[in-house]
Amino acid sequence: MKKYSLAIVGCGKLAHIVADAINNGLLEDYKLIGAYSRTREKAIAIAEKVNPETCAVCGSMDELLALKADYIVETASPASLKEFAFDALKRGSNIVTLSIGAFTDKDFYEKVQVVAREHNSKIYLASGAIGGFDVLRTAALMGNCTATFDTEKGPNSLKGTSVYEDTLQTEKKQVFKGDAIEAINLFPTRVNVAVAASLASVGPEKMKVSMTSTPGFVGDDHRIEIKNDQVHAVIDVYSSTAQIAGWSVVNVLRNITSPIVF
Ligand SMILES: NC(=O)C1=CN([C@@H]2O[C@H](COP(=O)(O)OP(=O)(O)OC[C@H]3O[C@@H](n4cnc5c(N)ncnc54)[C@H](O)[C@@H]3O)[C@@H](O)[C@H]2O)C=CC1
Ligand SMILES: O=C([O-])CC(=O)C(=O)O
């Protein structure tokens, strides 16, 4: 049976979910051939977990791209996706990404599509911590639609952002209201989901995004609502950890090689 080669960029928490899935026999159509992360030890940890003999620990992005893996899983950051997407697609590698926030850069979003078409490669947007791309896309296709994206988080997950203040520990507060572009600019690695939902529906400028901080709240709740003349759909996903996003990459990879495609 043909195995597709796989490489991982960004060897943190979510990459380990993909590595565990390989080890647990959930990705039998793939062979991990390379791992790259800013911190070399993290790439070593992934290679050692899966198979240090067949998975190269890459010292640079170029080294990883030179492997020309059939699929590159990106679990790093929107900035990293921008760094390697063109080169990867030009070499015929397909990309599975969680850092969909990168696509609020219109120029980048348009150019990756042109390059992917020219080189017969594809970019798969993993559903991450949300879902329902199918109904969002379908409802949007029908026309005349509006959409909102409301996130609830605990204050501790906002530490290190400009909206954090100690009073959030005791008071519920809407800490952000704006569109998906403003949201990802303020929270570069926390609202990829809002951008993903917007690209699947009304676009980043028209997606009305809010974020509410609730004292003691654990995990994330993302509530997407889309309406057109005939359809009213609500997709509400609560998750106590971000692990669902790593699993969504596993799901995309399984779908790619499955005879039944969801
Ligand atoms: N779409 C979604 O639902 C979600 C998307 N994400 C995205 O996935 C990314 C990874 O999440 P985690 O695994 O939880 O983060 P993490 O912080 O545990 O791991 C990310 C790893 O990537 C490395 N990295 C970052 N930029 C890099 C670059 N330019 N080149 C090479 N390595 C780089 C970091 O050093 C780190 O080891 C997040 O930054 C976020 O953009 C995360 C959660 C949900
Ligand atoms: O884990 C989440 O809830 C969402 C997240 O980080 C992202 O979209 O970047």
CA distance 226 to 201: 8
Q: How far is the CA of 1 from the centre of ligand 1 (A)?
A: 32
Cα dist from 224 to 80, 209, 248, whole Å:
27, 9, 18
pLDDT score of 2: 86
Q: What would the two tokens of residue 125 be?
A: 């947007």
Q: Is the dihedral of CA 113, 115, 119, 123 positive or negative?
A: negative
Residue 45 C-alpha from the chain's centroid: 22
**CA 28 and chain centroid, separation:** 22
Q: Is 144 annotated as a binding residue?
A: no
Ligand 2 centroid vs 189 CA: distance in angstroms?
Answer: 7
Q: How far is the CA of 232 from the centre of ligand 1 (A)?
A: 33
Residues 87 and 165 in one domain: no
Q: Do residues 172 and 72 share a domain?
A: no
> Is residue 100 in some structural domain?
yes
Q: Which atom of ligand 1 approaches the CA of 101 most closely?
A: 41
d(CA 193, CA 239): 13
Catalytic residues: 222
Residue 208 located in a structural domain: yes
For the stretch 62-110, pLDDT in tens is 999 999 999 999 999 999 999 999 999 999 999 999 999 999 999 999 9
Q: Kindly state whether residue 222 falls inside one of the protein's structural domains.
A: yes
Nearest ligand for residue 245 CA: 1
- pLDDT, averaged across the chain: 97
| CATH number (domain holding residue 14) | 3.40.50.720
Residue 262 lies in a domain: no
Residues 84 and 179 grouped into a single domain: no
Residues of the chain whose pLDDT is less than 50? none
7 is in an annotated binding site: no
pLDDT at 1: 77
Q: Judge if 141 and 30 occupy the same domain.
A: no
Same domain, 24 and 49: yes
Regarding whether 124 and 14 lie in a shared domain, the answer is yes
pLDDT digit string, tens, across residues 146-158: 999 999 999 999 9
Range of the domain at 188: 133-241
- Interface confidence (ipTM) of the complex: 0.98
- Tell me whether residue 171 is in a domain: yes
Is 153 in the same domain as 112?
A: no
Both 180 and 94 in one domain: the answer is: no
Q: What is the structure's pLDDT at 4? A: 98
User: How far, in Å, are 69, 122, 136, 137, 180 from residue 203 at the CA level?
Assistant: 31, 20, 11, 11, 8
Domain count, the chain: 2
- The pTM score is 0.97
**116 and 21: one domain?**
yes
Q: What is the DSSP string of 239-261?
A: ESSTHHHHHHHHHHHHHHH-SS-
User: Does residue 106 share a domain with residue 8?
Assistant: yes
The CATH number covering residue 147 comes to 3.30.360.10
Residue 206 Cα to ligand 1 midpoint, Å, equals 26
The two structure tokens encoding residue 152: 């609830």
Domain-located, residue 176: yes
Query: Which residue among 61, 75, 184, 221 is best mutated to probe the pocket of ligand 1, counting the most ligand atoms within 8 A of its Cβ?
Result: 75
* Cα 73 from Cα 67, distance rounded (Å): 13
The greatest distance separating any two alpha carbons of the chain, rounded to the nearest whole angstrom, comes to 58
* 2, two tokens: 């043909």
Closest alpha carbon to 210 in 190, 185, 180, 234: 180
Total residue count of the chain as it appears in this document:
262
Do 8 and 121 have their domain in common? Answer: yes
Q: Is 74 inside a domain boundary?
A: yes
Ligand 1 pocket test, candidate residues 37, 125, 130, 187, most atoms within 8 A of CB: 37
Please indicate, yes or no, whether residues 73 and 160 belong to a single structural domain of this protein: no
Residue 104: inside a domain: yes
